Structure 1
């Protein structure tokens, strides 16, 4: 009887020790890690919402293929949208609110890879291209030069078909005019834009 009693007490002690170990392990490992992860996630969200000095969380910024800032604090973004063409939005410098999407050029043709936005003070120039399999390296079939000014509610566009696309845009002296160009060994292709008259005709100039 004495041996049976000693075994019973030893067994009870072992069960008690195992129970304590399991309880400590459950609280220290599983519960602690879950709380730390949730806290880190909450801190990250709060930091992201207040970035830039905003007092309250704001809606996430739209995604663009290209985005540029203007000297007055505004931002302009553009994206190739399948089935629609080239879509533009701009953000007010004071309210930091993005405008509704606006189609600058409508086409269902496949997009190319590059999209160029260049700011000249408050004027924004755009170069964009489309063509079948163009994203995979085929030459473009539709090339757009576009210019937006003022409140960016209106965009001038010029379509050139079966053209390799404009390679750059630059200001013309201090006139406020812009010139889009593409050069080859024999020819310089040029397109001029002015605020008063918009786009002129494409010029081919032999070198």
Structure 2
């Protein structure tokens, strides 16, 4: 029910069907019903929750301590009527009631309740109750799961005839269904489909002030975003988008295809995210704070290759040979394969030490050596400065020099040969 690292859910054999209420279970081998994707109303709270149905009925589910046990009860009150007698849904020996979630559509109310250590301890539940009330809330069915992290979400279909309790891991989704006719069925676990960016990302976009245009093309499960300056400045920047979720694209590689290096070109951070709104007609960015709206493609966007090629990670300003101002090994920065930038250090004597180091692009203007990859000696032997240990390369704003930074040691400035 909360964001937490999930353990595998209990198998069907570990599910306990409570008998004080209607105790029936659907055929585990039958074809599962269609899984609903939402609910008309939701409410949640620590130890209890309540909501008002469209017909004015007030529904309340609360947990109370009784004789050393945590008892979860439901009661409801029609509009203008009296409260019903509390109905016990579950009595637990666990230390505390945790979160209670309600979801409702067309008079059907689903309850998702956790029991375990106190919420502030940060521990997952020991027991999770799934309960569904229908037919005027006079009939309830329940299913208890022990030794799991519980259900992350509960949905109820538009007509109120089906409810689904869902638990997610990175690779799987486990579903417990309830139907008005058959009660509970499941749970069943299946592989989650790979995350993909929503198709509504694709197409052309522009900022309100006219300074930028953007074309998004599909590539694999993600996409490639190509930014064009629209104010007369020559600048074309390509960005690889990874599907953080269906409507959120995470920047992974940023590469300036054209234009002089400056803070405005590329002007994009690999820390950025782009989010598609619910209507599919606007893109917003987390870091840059720009907002794009949909537009028709212009001549530059219509000429983009289909499908787009991979986006290199190393900006053009980095590439090539650099020499330190104070002497020491020179360094050559290359990227033979997109996403795999390298630095090759060569000592001043030209061959006594030649070592290649894999790089990580922390930002467009910041490179670091990767701790999970050992330098590769191409010739000679490693020395104290060939290559340096645990370093960072920071590009100047004009792109004409960079600093090699090491903790506890003075920075070393590198420039192009002849400067």
Scaled to the shorter chain, the TM-score interval is: 0.5 to 0.7
Q: CA deviation at 1:198?
A: 0.3
Structure-to-structure mapping, 1:1-207, within 5 angstroms: 65-82=48-65, 83-95=69-81, 97-134=82-119, 136-172=121-157, 176-207=161-192
Gap change, CA 1:173 and 1:119, over 3 Å in 2: closer
Which stretches in structure 1 are left out of the alignment for 5+ residues? 1-63
Structure 1 runs, 4 residues or longer, greater than 3 Å off: 132-135, 171-175
Q: Cα gap change, 1:173/1:71 in structure 2, threshold over 3 Å: closer, same or farther? A: closer
CA distances 1:150-180 after superposition (whole Å, capped 9, x unpaired): 2212211111111111111223575721111
Does the CA-based 8 Å contact 1:112-1:135 persist in structure 2?
A: no
What SS is found at the alignment partner of 2:132? strand
Equivalents in 1 of 2:71, 2:120: separation in Å?
A: 14
- 1:71-129 per-residue CA deviation (whole Å, 9 max, x = no partner) reads 1110100111122421111112132x111221111222123431111111110011001
Give the distance between the partners of 2:159 and 2:135, measured in 1 at CA: 18
Name the SS of the counterpart of 2:135 in structure 1: coil
Asked if 1 retains the 8 angstrom alpha-carbon contact of 2:107 and 2:160, the reply is no
Q: 1:135 to 1:104 in 2, by over 3 A?
A: farther
Q: Is the 8 A contact 1:119 1:125 kept in 2?
A: yes
Whether the 8 Å CA contact 2:98–2:125 is kept in 1: the answer is no
Q: Using the alignment, how far apart are the partners of 1:134 and 1:112 within structure 2? A: 8
Q: CA deviation at 1:137?
A: 1.6
List alignment gaps of at least 5 residues for structure 2. Answer: 1-46, 193-419
Q: What TM-score do the two structures reach when normalised by structure 2?
A: 0.32
The verdict on how the C-alpha distance between 1:138 and 1:87 changes in structure 2, with shifts beyond 3 A counting, is same
Q: Is the 8 A contact 1:74 1:93 kept in 2?
A: yes
- Aligned residues of 1:111 and 1:135 also touching (Cα < 8 A): no
Whose helix proportion is higher, 1 or 2? Answer: 1
2:106·2:160 contact (CA, 8 Å) conserved in 1? no
CA RMSD of aligned residues (A): 1.9
Number of aligned residue pairs: 143
- TM superposition score normalised by structure 1: 0.63
- What is the CA deviation profile of residues 17-40 of structure 1, one whole-angstrom value per residue up to 9, with x for unaligned ones? xxxxxxxxxxxxxxxxxxxxxxxx
- Match of 1:72, SS? coil
Deviation track 1:42-89 (CA, whole Å, cap 9, x = no partner) reads xxxxxxxxxxxxxxxxxxxxxx82111111110100111122421111
Distance in 2 (CA, whole Å) between partners of 1:193 and 1:203 is 13
**Native 8 Å contact 1:84 1:103 kept in 2:** no
> What's the counterpart of residue 24 of structure 1?
none
Q: Distance in 1 between matches of 2:131 and 2:169?
A: 22
Higher strand share: 2
Task: Specify the SS of the correspondent of 1:151.
Answer: coil
